[in-house]
Amino acid sequence: MGAPMADAVTERLDRLERQVRLWEMFGALAAFAAIALLLAGLAPSGPPTVAAQRFVVVDSKGTAHASFGLAGDGSAVLGLNDEDGITRVMIGVRDGQPRVTLTSSDGKVSWRAP
C-alpha cells in the first residue's frame, strides 16, 4: 500500500469515527429526552385532590368546631359549632334550595331560611 492509499484510508477512518461519535451523542440526547418525557408524564398534573364524605375541624381536646360534609339525604352541609361542640349554625342546600339554620343555646331553632 502506498502513501496516498494509506492517507485515504486514514482520512476515511477519521471521518467514520467522527460520524460514530456524532451518532453516540444524538443517541444519548434522544435517551435523555425520552427519560425526561417519561418523568414529566409521571408528575402529578395540578394540585392534589382530597376526597371525603365529611371533614371535621377539631381543637386539641378533640372538640368539633366545624364540619363540612353530606347529610343523610345526600345534601351538602356546613356546620359551625360553639365552644361545647354544639352546632349553632348550619348552612346547606336541600332540594336545590339554599338553607340556613341558627340554633339557640337551648338547642331550639331560633331562625331558619327558608
SS3 29: helix
Does the model's pTM come out above 0.85? no
Quick check: 44 pLDDT over 90?
no
Work out the pLDDT band at 65, boundaries 50, 70, 90: very high
Name the helix (H) or strand (E) containing 89.
Answer: strand 87-94
**Closest among 65, 64, 73 to 92, alpha carbons compared:** 73
54-113 CATH, one of 3.90.930.1, 3.90.650.10, 3.40.50.170, 3.40.50.2000: 3.90.930.1
Specify whether the CB–CB gap between 77 and 70 falls below 8 A: yes
Task: Examine the pLDDT at 2 and tell me if it is beyond 80.
Answer: no
pLDDT tens per residue across span 16-36:
999 999 999 989 999 988 888
Domain boundaries, the chain: 1-47, 54-113
